[in-house]
Amino acid sequence: MDLQLSDEHRMIRDMARDFAETEIAPIAADYDETGEFPRETIAKMGAHGFMGIATAEEYGGVGMDTLAYVLALKEISKVDASHGVIMSVCNSLFCYGIERYGSEEQKQKYLRAVASGDVVGAYALTEPQSGSDASNIRVTAELSGDGSYYVINGTKSWISSGPVAKYVLLFAQTDPDAKPRYRGVSAFLIDTEEPGFSRGKTEPKLGIRASATCEIHFEDYECPVEARLGEEGAGFKIAMSVLDAGRIGIAAQALGIAEAAYEASVDYAREREAFGQKIGNFQMIQQKLADMKTRIEASRLLIYQAALAKDKGKKTGSRYTLESAMAKLFASETAMWVTTEAVQIHGGMGYSKELPVERYFRDAKVTEIYEGTSEIQRMVIARQETGLR
């Protein structure tokens, strides 16, 4: 696989690997235990350029391509998926949308701050009644009488980095009577330090526990018109475009988790003895390892393909929904399958917190949920292939 990588790609991959092993590995288990947000290491990741790898240098990023981004994200996630998802949200869900659809003023204010790692960004689409059904949004944004600002009211749920984000990319209904409803959705850039914004409790999650998640609330929040992202009514198109990019990030995160679980299983199979020999000598263990490796490499190819399709789309305007959906679907299911097998190979020790395998198992599950369930991904793929809408 590395034969197709340039020297620059290998450099960013190796830099991310070294950073993860040096800065994140020693603290990952403690942050998983406490659920505390890893502010110090995230700040260091920003200083290294990991929070805006694919963002143009003029806006505080590194200016590399999507392949470089997934290579770095995979290495970070391989050591700790919590750090990986924080990195993914900032790069894919926040920075990408603003760089593609924002005005120059918005890029300088919001994009630069997050891409450079000075602050954390978040993406707010999900609501208590609408997860994957992104058109069923009830948060409202009503234009003021003088047309200078929007009054926003409502609640968003399951917002990754919500408890710590300075800026939030928010989607709200500006025309609840629009037919179909998604045509009434608009996008806004929210400053969480302004009046009318509040945060709910941090969710006690099964996995990626150091990635802080919460509800966010708006009560007569006044958002200036110049903070609207894109045209009024263009929010659904922006949201779907950003999710295409986000799925590639989640796929890379899943790949990192799967690789970590696989490598731990190989090491354990070489060391653990049963019935007078290493368990790696048993054919059943060998079969599990072979299948794990095969699925991991298939996932890697799908992710690389999606990354290349995204970069091609920048030049041609072509969509990459199909490629990103396939990569995310297969990689996330691979992560869950591989970590399950890893626990089996480790036996009782796989169920113990003394080893990180149980953390990989817990972290893997969320990759099947973020950016759409497996069923939604299959629907996206089927519709792309058949031409249905």
Catalytic residue among 323, 333, 368, 371: 371
- How far is the C-alpha of 275 from the C-alpha of 128, rounded, in Å? 52
Lowest mean pLDDT among 86-100, 121-135, 327-341: 121-135
Average pLDDT over residues 199-218: 96
- How far is the C-alpha of 357 from the C-alpha of 257, rounded, in Å? 10
* Residue in the structure block whose two tokens are 């996206």: 380
Work out the pLDDT band at 378, boundaries 50, 70, 90: low
For residue 166, pLDDT over 90 is answered with: yes
- End-to-end alpha-carbon separation of the chain, Å? 35
User: Residues 89, 91, 93, 98: is their CA dihedral positive or negative?
Assistant: positive
Torsion of CA 90, 161, 355, 361, to 10 degrees: -80
Lowest mean pLDDT among 206-220, 225-239, 249-263, 369-383: 369-383
User: Residues 53, 55, 57, 60: is their CA dihedral positive or negative?
Assistant: negative
Provide the mean pLDDT of the chain.
94
Q: Which of 367, 331, 354 is nearest to 264 (CA)?
A: 354
Q: What is the pTM of this model?
A: 0.94
Work out the pLDDT band at 361, boundaries 50, 70, 90: very high
For residue 5, pLDDT over 90 is answered with: no
Predicted confidence at residue 381, as pLDDT, reads: 66
Predicted confidence at residue 324, as pLDDT, reads: 95
Work out the pLDDT band at 133, boundaries 50, 70, 90: confident
Predicted confidence at residue 388, as pLDDT, reads: 57
**Are the C-beta atoms of residues 289 and 262 closer than 8 Å to each other?**
yes
- How far is the C-alpha of 334 from the C-alpha of 322, rounded, in Å? 18
User: Is residue 341 among the annotated active site residues?
Assistant: no
Q: Which residue blocks in the chain are alpha helix, DSSP H? A: 7-19, 28-34, 39-47, 66-79, 81-88, 96-101, 104-106, 112-115, 235-271, 283-316, 321-346, 357-367, 374-386
Provide the angle, in degrees to the nearest 10, between the axes of the packed helices 66-79 and 7-19: 20
For residue 22, pLDDT over 90 is answered with: yes
